[in-house]
């Protein structure tokens, strides 16, 4: 069976998706990254291999996400694509009429504006946590409940409390204040969901024309209270697609299928055996500018394969012979 593999390595979760030659999802894996992208890519490959039929042959592999260059080097990717393109392609595949894509992950969030099947604008937030999934995770932890209990409890709210959610610090102090005033927990946590939505729309969505159909992707779309809050704020239906949590990986697989069909080159995929390779990681200080970033590097048997981790893209997906740039 001809198949295509997409790998999306984010700061919080790592996703893998395999599509067949008619672009139907065969299988997918969703794992916590836990600050170990190399290990999680290897673990994901091992898991997805076990779930695939024996007659599957991978004809192409693409990587996306914040650690896409690193993942691409480990697996031997045929294509490395940014998250905006991957998310947009996946949304268009399932909803050709889509005009707005909302994507919220653990530590960043995005909005993609699509008109007539083409991305015309986008926005990203990688700085403020108040518009991301980690914001809700942290508040759920403070309230001693799981994120599932948080979501279910928020949906019971009848009179939500307005929380000052422009910043996680302010939101926490305001939440404590509302608790002390005696407000019901479900009203407070739905107020937090509304605060996240307002923060997203006032930052990531600022100045963007949000038109339906609106597709909500990313892990936070599991939270039905957030979906409800978006629908109330936008006064429009917000569609959560099946497999919304792995749409980035699906988009990457769709893109590499198109790439392989066009070029007809043999895939550079190193095989599922890379899940058993023992890589070594180390770091050094880049002296190219006053930031003095700590650059991580990946090695195999003493040979450096990749470097990453700076504030700029000097080392991202770059050739290894770059010591002169840091001098």
Percentage above 70 pLDDT, the chain: 93
**Residue 109 sits in the same domain as residue 8:** no
The whole-angstrom separation of Cα 132 and Cα 224 is 15
Q: Which domain holds residue 315?
A: 280-326
CA gap 7, 294 in Å, rounded: 25
Structural domain count of the chain: 3
Output Rg (C-alpha) for the chain, integer angstroms: 21
Q: Look at residue 222 and tell me whether its pLDDT is greater than 50.
A: yes
One domain, residues 71 and 123: no
Instruction: Check if the beta carbon of residue 314 is closer than 8 Å to that of residue 89.
Output: no
Please check whether residue 256 is in contact with residue 60, taking contact to mean a CB–CB distance below 8 angstroms: yes
Cβ pair 87, 251 in contact under 8 A: yes
Q: Say which range, 23-32, 127-136, 306-315, has the weakest mean pLDDT.
A: 127-136
Residue 104 to residue 200: CA distance in whole angstroms: 9
> Same domain, yes or no, for 77 and 56?
yes
Measured distance CA(306)–CA(297) in Å, rounded: 6
**What rounded mean pLDDT belongs to the chain?**
87
Residues 285 and 270 both lie in one domain: no
Higher per-residue pLDDT: 80 or 318: 80
Question: Could you tell me if 228 and 266 lie in one domain?
Answer: no
pLDDT reading at 225 higher than 80: yes
Residue whose C-alpha is closest to residue 188's, from 171, 199, 172, 175: 175
Q: What is the pLDDT of residues 43-100, one digit of tens each?
A: 999 999 999 988 899 999 999 988 888 889 889 999 999 999 999 999 999 999 999 9
**Higher-confidence residue: 248 or 179?**
248
Question: In this predicted structure, what is the pLDDT of residue 174?
Answer: 81
User: What is the full DSSP assignment across 133-176?
Assistant: HHHHHHHHHHTT--HHHHHHHHTT-SSPPP---SSHHHHHHHHH
Ranked by mean pLDDT, which of 116-130, 138-152, 246-260, 285-299 comes out on top?
Answer: 246-260
For the cut 90, the answer to whether the pLDDT of residue 165 exceeds it is no
């Amino acid at each position: 069976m001809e198949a295509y593999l997409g790998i999306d390595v984010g700061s919080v979760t790592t996703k893998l998706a395999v599509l067949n030659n008619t672009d139907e999802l065969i299988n997918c894996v969703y794992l916590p990254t836990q600050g170990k992208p190399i290990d999680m890519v290897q673990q994901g490959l091992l898991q997805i291999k076990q779930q695939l039929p024996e007659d599957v042959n991978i004809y192409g592999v693409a990587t996306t996400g914040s650690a896409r260059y690193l993942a691409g080097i480990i697996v031997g990717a045929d294509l490395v694509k940014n998250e905006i393109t991957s998310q947009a392609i996946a949304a268009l595949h399932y909803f050709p009429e889509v005009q707005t894509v909302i994507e919220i992950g653990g530590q960043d969030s995005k909005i993609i504006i699509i008109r007539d099947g083409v991305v015309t604008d986008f926005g990203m937030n990688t700085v403020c946590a108040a518009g991301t999934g980690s914001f809700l995770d942290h508040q759920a932890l403070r309230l001693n409940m799981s994120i599932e209990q948080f979501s279910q409890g928020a949906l019971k709210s009848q009179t939500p409390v307005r929380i000052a959610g422009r910043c996680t610090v302010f939101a926490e102090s305001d939440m404590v204040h509302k608790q002390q005033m005696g407000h019901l927990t479900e009203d407070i946590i739905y107020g937090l969901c509304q605060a996240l939505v307002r923060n997203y729309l006032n930052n990531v969505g600022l100045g963007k024309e949000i038109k339906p159909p609106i597709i909500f992707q990313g892990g936070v779309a599991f939270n039905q209270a957030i979906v409800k809050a978006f629908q109330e704020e936008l006064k429009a239906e917000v569609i959560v697609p099946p497999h919304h949590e792995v749409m980035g990986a699906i988009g990457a697989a769709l893109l590499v299928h198109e790439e392989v069909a066009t070029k007809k080159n043999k895939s550079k995929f190193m095989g599922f055996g890379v899940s058993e390779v023992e890589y070594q990681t180390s770091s050094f200080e880049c002296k190219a500018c006053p930031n003095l970033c700590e650059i991580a590097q990946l090695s195999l048997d003493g040979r450096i394969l990749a470097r990453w981790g700076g504030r700029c893209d000097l080392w991202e997906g770059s050739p290894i012979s770059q010591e002169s740039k840091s001098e």
